[in-house]
C-alpha cells in the first residue's frame, strides 16, 4: 500500500488522508511499495495493455496504475499514448540518436493532462468538488478540461459537478492557453502580479483545506500536489516502454516549476529499483536564462536556493521565479547524475524553428530541450552516438503569436535566424513559378 511522506520532516500519512502538503509546509512524496511490486511481472503487464480501446488500459497514464495509486473511480480523457519521434536529420547533425517525446499530443495540448488525471481522480475519490490552480496557461487548460469532463459518462464513472478555479497573472499568459480555460468553463480569476504571486495565493487557499470536510474545501492541483507528480512519472514509463525498456542515455526537458524534473527522477529511480531498466538515464533540466533560479542553485553547488523576483522569458510556460518543487527536483538531478542548464531566448526560438521545420512543432518552452541538447553535445557531456530523448511539453498552437512574430522578425532582441517569412506576389502563374525557384 502506498504512503505519503514529507520530504522535509519525514512525517508519514495514509494515501487516503487527503493531504496535498505536510502540516509543516513540506512537500509530500508518494512512497510506492517496491518490494510488493517486484513480485509482479510489470513489463509483461504493461505490454499486454498496449492497444486497449477501453479505460483504464487505453489511457497512457492509467496503463501504469500499479505505479500510481488505487482509485475506485478514474477521471480520464484517454491521455498519454503520445508519440516518440525519431529525428534523423537532427541526429545526423548532432551525432547522437535523437528522439522527441511529444507531450503536446495530450488532450489539451500539454503534458499537464498526465498529472491532472491522477490528481483530479484523487480529489474526486476524496469527495472534493472545488479545484484550484495558479497557471501560466497549460495547467489552467488541463484543470478546466478535466473538471468539465468529469460529468461525461463516456470518460468517467463519477457523475459529480466539479468547480474549476484558475488564478492567472493578468496579461502574462498566451492567449491560446487562456482561451482553453475559458472555453472549458473554468472560473478564471486574473490578478496583478506574476505566476509566483498567483501561486502564493493558491498556497494560502490550500492551507485552508479541511480533510474532514473536503466537499466544501478547495483542493490544489498545482505540482505541489503529490498525485500530479505520480501522473507525470508516466512520461518516463512510456518513453521506456516505447524503447522496449532499453533506457536512453539522457532525457532532456524544460524546467519551470520543476514538477516534471521531480517526476522524471522519481520514475527513473522506481523503474531501476523494479528492474524495468538496468541503468538510469541522466536528466538534463533546462531553464530559460531569464527565469533560471534552479540553474543558479545547481551552479552554486546547491548551497542556497534563491527565488527570482521578476522572471522574464518568451517561454511563458516556464516563466517562474520561485519553483515550488526545487527540493524534489534537486533530488532527481542528484540521483540520476544529471545537470541543469540555461539557454538564451535566441537559442530557444531557433531550436523551436528547427523542431517546427521537422514537421513536429512545439511551443517555445518545449524547445529548451533541443537548445539544451545542443549545449550538451557542444560541451562534450553528451557523447557521440548516445541515445537522447528531448521532451516537448506543449503543442505548437499553444502560443501561435510567438511563432508568427518570430518568422516576421518582430521579437525584440531575437535574431530570427531561421525565419520563414511570407512573400507577397501578384496573383499569376508566372509570379508563383518565379517565387518557388
Please report whether residue 248 resides in a domain: yes
Contacts of 378 (CB under 8 A, 6+ apart): none
Please report whether residue 145 resides in a domain: no
Note the pLDDT tens digit of each residue in 209-240. 887 888 888 999 999 999 999 999 999 999 99
Q: What is the mean pLDDT of the chain?
A: 94
Please report whether residue 36 resides in a domain: no
Half-sphere exposure of 201 (CA within 13 A, CB side): 19
Closest CA to 181 of 220, 142, 216, 226: 142
> Are residues 231 and 332 both part of a single domain?
yes
pLDDT at 160: 52
Q: Locate 75 and state its grid cell.
A: 477521471
CATH number of the domain residue 336 falls in: 3.40.50.1100
> Are residues 98 and 2 both part of a single domain?
no
> Are residues 99 and 14 both part of a single domain?
no
Closest CA to 254 of 204, 189, 300, 323: 323
> Are residues 282 and 363 both part of a single domain?
yes
> Are residues 398 and 313 both part of a single domain?
yes
pLDDT at 156: 36
Measure the CA–CA gap between 408 and 128, rounded to whole angstroms. Answer: 47
> Are residues 279 and 358 both part of a single domain?
yes
> Are residues 7 and 92 both part of a single domain?
no
Measure the CA–CA gap between 355 and 379, rounded to whole angstroms. Answer: 21
Please report whether residue 116 resides in a domain: no
Range of the domain at 344: 84-108+227-407
Please report whether residue 45 resides in a domain: no
Please report whether residue 367 resides in a domain: yes
pTM for this prediction: 0.95
Q: Is the pLDDT of residue 152 over 60?
A: no
Q: How confident is the model at residue 151 (pLDDT cuts 50, 70, 90)?
A: low
Q: Is the pLDDT of residue 395 over 50?
A: yes
Give φ, ψ of 55 to 5 degrees: -70, 150
Question: Are 165 and 349 in contact, with CB atoms under 8 Å apart?
Answer: no
> Are residues 255 and 343 both part of a single domain?
yes
> Are residues 268 and 367 both part of a single domain?
yes
Measure the CA–CA gap between 26 and 224, rounded to whole angstroms. Answer: 9
| 102-116, 165-179, 281-295, 342-356, range with the lowest pLDDT | 165-179
Number of domains in the chain: 2
Q: Is the pLDDT of residue 410 over 80?
A: yes
Amino acid at each position: 500500500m502506498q504512503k505519503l511522506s514529507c520530504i522535509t520532516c519525514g512525517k508519514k500519512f495514509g494515501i487516503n488522508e487527503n493531504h496535498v502538503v505536510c502540516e509543516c509546509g513540506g512537500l509530500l512524496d508518494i512512497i510506492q511499495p517496491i518490494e510488493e511490486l517486484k513480485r509482479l511481472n510489470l513489463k509483461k503487464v504493461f505490454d499486454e495493455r498496449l492497444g486497449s480501446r477501453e479505460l483504464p488500459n487505453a489511457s497512457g497514464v492509467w496503463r501504469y496504475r500499479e505505479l500510481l495509486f488505487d482509485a475506485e473511480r478514474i477521471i480520464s480523457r484517454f491521455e498519454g499514448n503520445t508519440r516518440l519521434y525519431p529525428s534523423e536529420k537532427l541526429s545526423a547533425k548532432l551525432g547522437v540518436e535523437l528522439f522527441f517525446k511529444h507531450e503536446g499530443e495530450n488532450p489539451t495540448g500539454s503534458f499537464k493532462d498526465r498529472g491532472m488525471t491522477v490528481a483530479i481522480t484523487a480529489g474526486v475519490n476524496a469527495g472534493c468538488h472545488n479545484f484550484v490552480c495558479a497557471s501560466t496557461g497549460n495547467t489552467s487548460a488541463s484543470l478546466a478540461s478535466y473538471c468539465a469532463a468529469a460529468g461525461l459518462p463516456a470518460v468517467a464513472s463519477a457523475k459529480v459537478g466539479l468547480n474549476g478555479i484558475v488564478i492567472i497573472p493578468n496579461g502574462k499568459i498566451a492567449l491560446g492557453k487562456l482561451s482553453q480555460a475559458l472555453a472549458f468553463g473554468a472560473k478564471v480569476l486574473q490578478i496583478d502580479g506574476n505566476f509566483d504571486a498567483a501561486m502564493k495565493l493558491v498556497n494560502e487557499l490550500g492551507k485552508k483545506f479541511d480533510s474532514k470536510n473536503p466537499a466544501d474545501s478547495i483542493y490544489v492541483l498545482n505540482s505541489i500536489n503529490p498525485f500530479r507528480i505520480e501522473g507525470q512519472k508516466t512520461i518516463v514509463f512510456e518513453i521506456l516502454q516505447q524503447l522496449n525498456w532499453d533506457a536512453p542515455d539522457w532525457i532532456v526537458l524544460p524546467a519551470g516549476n520543476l514538477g516534471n524534473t521531480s517526476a522524471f527522477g522519481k520514475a527513473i529511480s522506481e523503474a531501476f529499483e523494479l528492474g524495468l531498466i538496468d541503468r538510469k538515464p541522466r536528466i538534463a533540466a533546462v531553464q530559460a536564462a531569464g527565469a533560471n533560479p534552479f540553474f543558479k542553485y545547481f551552479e552554486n553547488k546547491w548551497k542556497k536556493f534563491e527565488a527570482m523576483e521578476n522572471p522574464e522569458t518568451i517561454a511563458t510556460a516556464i516563466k517562474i521565479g520561485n519553483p515550488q518543487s526545487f527540493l524534489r527536483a534537486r533530488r532527481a538531478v542528484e540521483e540520476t547524475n544529471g545537470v541543469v542548464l540555461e539557454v538564451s531566448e535566441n537559442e530557444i526560438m531557433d531550436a523551436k524553428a528547427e523542431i517546427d521545420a521537422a514537421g513536429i512543432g512545439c511551443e517555445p518552452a518545449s524547445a529548451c530541450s533541443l537548445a539544451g541538447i545542443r549545449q550538451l553535445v557542444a560541451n562534450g557531456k553528451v557523447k557521440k552516438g548516445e541515445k537522447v530523448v528531448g521532451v516537448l511539453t506543449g503543442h505548437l498552437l499553444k502560443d501561435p503569436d510567438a511563432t508568427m512574430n518570430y518568422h516576421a522578425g518582430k521579437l525584440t532582441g531575437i535574431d530570427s535566424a531561421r525565419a520563414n517569412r511570407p512573400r507577397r506576389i501578384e496573383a499569376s502563374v508566372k509570379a508563383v513559378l518565379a517565387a518557388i525557384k
